[in-house]
Structure 1
Amino acid sequence: MIDQLVGSGLTRAMVILAHPDDEALLCGGTIAELTRIDVETTVVCFSDGAQGRDEAFKQVCTLLGAQSRLLKFETGSMRVDAELVGATDDLIRESEPQLVITHARSGIQNQDHIALHDAVRLSTRRWPSPAIVLGVEPPISSSDFDGNVFCEVGQSWASKVAAVTAYQNLLDRPYI
């Protein structure tokens, strides 16, 4: 479990992802596990919620027991610059999470995922909090990703499935 990795004193976690639906697909079970063990968890989505996904994002975060925060960066145009790194700096300083989960940087994947990963890594190197940063990525996006931290989500599996299902009506959206 994540609390064993970080320690029993884990009280605050932040999940920083690019797009609404990343939270459900990449780490919905882990988010549900964190909230189940009473870790205050905030999920921050940097995308502008294109294609109607912002309401589903808020619904999913509520379902998983997490707080939601939706920023308004334009989908498909994130790049490592002062604005993006400044936003990740602000999040880390304000919340002082002990654990941050963000996109892994591996293989060929979405440009927003890569930019946000790099910005989060720059920010987390400059502040004393968090104690640990984990990267998530679906196996389908990269054969290079070799996970080495796993969270047992059996007790939260139903929440994970419900989170993914919340986006089902958005499957026919055009590619960004």
Structure 2
Amino acid sequence: ARRWTDAWGQKKPLLTDDEVYNLCIPRGTLTPEERQIINGHMDVTLDMLGSLPFPPKLRQVPEYAGGHHEKMDGTGFPLGLTRDQMSIPARIMAIADVFEALTAKERPYKTPLKLSEALGILQRMRDNDHLDPDLYRLFIRSGVWRQYAEKHLDPVQLDVEDGSAFL
């Protein structure tokens, strides 16, 4: 409701309606409309991959690629699938996708997280029924996260030796 006077003596709102709308985003930095546009990449993925003539051995590729934003409790997208409705490879893909997204240095819109931060987020996602708990436990115990990190991450990100604290 505050106003200010510009150099020509005109009263103007301190914040525009658009600025107020953006400042009221409860979590993250995207508006619901922007989030919907970004989430649309899954619809494009499913449409595109679903139209390709995969050989029988690879016919599940659309499901694996299209399921990486689904959550075990059914609140994910694009289909709102639950754990029981998803294949094991699709559930694995979800864990791998989140881990890579959190730690990747190739994403210009965010700083890559350290292992401790990324594994902490994955742990909370498991606790909130977003990731498969059994596959998450396997991901940590197998050390695949560490092998990937040593090969692909910057040394400054490697701040966890043993993942047992994240079980």
Q: TM-score, normalised by structure 1?
A: 0.27
Structure (1 or 2) with the greater strand fraction: 1
Q: Which has the higher contact order (CA 8 A, sep 6+)?
A: 1
Q: TM-score, normalised by structure 2?
A: 0.28
Structure (1 or 2) with the greater helix fraction: 2
Higher-Rg member (1/2) = 2
